[in-house]
Amino acid sequence: MAYAGKVADKAKKLDKGVGQYYSAGGLDVLAVAIVKLFSKDAVNYKATVIADSEVRKFESEQKAEILVNSWKENRKDGKIFYIASKHVDSAQDHKDWQGKIYVDRYWHNYETDGRLGKFIREHNIQTVQWVTGNPVWFVTRPNCRHYFETYTVEQVLKGKYHIPNRKIGDRRLQTPRNANIEYYENRLKMLESLYKQYKTELLRKQIEKTKILISKWKKTF
């Protein structure tokens, strides 16, 4: 909203007032000036960056809330061990943390004969709360495709668990093709909205050019 307000203020400064345009090109002068403002300041791109940032923040908060609730529910079933998935195409800074065993920070409540604590110490097991937080942000980071499978104490101590593997993860949101299509489709919506307000030749040409670019990227594999 703050950014939209700044753009609106810039656009308003271009308006010379009622009756000031009809003698020299009419409202085309103002319409063209506003279109150039949107292009020069890359309004569509900047707005998308801001929106994406807010979405990522919201997604991270949602993930964190879901995890906390999951930990609580899993404790009821005695599932305090978490096995992290392993991906061939993992992000570089998450490679060292994937495919490992993690344990709930409240594991002490499930200790009965000393075997649990011994296993955790001998294997240097970190807590699931630690790995999903700062600085690793495993699973909780936006676009992270890793996940956990849960196990009970007895299952892990007896070796009855496996590491979930994925050869290639879902990269649909990260491909240049889809990113470009989304960008130009958003740009087209903006241009068409401007065109509805005031039809100029400049806008018509930009709309046609954008449609051609969308068609081009949709044919790209």
Single out the residue in 156, 171, 186 at which a domain terminates.
171
**Residue position matching structure tokens 């949107």:** 38
Peptide bond into 135 cis (omega under 30): yes
Asked if residue 2 belongs to a domain, the reply is: no
pLDDT at 89: 84
- pLDDT tens, N- to C-terminus, the chain (221 residues): 888 888 888 888 877 776 665 555 566 677 777 777 777 777 776 776 676 666 666 666 777 788 888 999 999 999 999 999 999 888 899 999 999 999 999 999 999 999 999 999 999 999 999 999 888 989 888 778 888 999 999 999 999 999 988 654 443 333 455 667 777 888 888 888 888 877 878 788 888 988 988 888 777 64
pLDDT at 172: 36
DSSP string, 32-64: HHHHHHHHHTTHHHHHHHHHHHHHHHHHHHHHH
185 lies in the same domain as 113: no
Q: Is 204 helix (H, G, I), strand (E, B) or coil?
A: helix
162 lies in the same domain as 75: yes
Asked if residue 144 belongs to a domain, the reply is: yes
153 lies in the same domain as 179: no
- Residue 101: strand pairing partners: 83
Q: What is the pTM of this model?
A: 0.55
**Residue position matching structure tokens 């890793």:** 146
Asked if residue 36 belongs to a domain, the reply is: no
153's tokens: 């104490």
- Cα→Cα distances 147→32, 99, 133, 139, 151, Å: 50, 10, 14, 6, 14
73 lies in the same domain as 162: yes
Ranges assigned E (strand) in 9-153: 79-84, 86-87, 101-103, 148-152
167 lies in the same domain as 183: no
Asked if residue 17 belongs to a domain, the reply is: no
| Dist CA 36 CA 51 (whole Å) | 22
Range of the structural domain that residue 125 is part of: 64-171
The domain total for the chain is 2
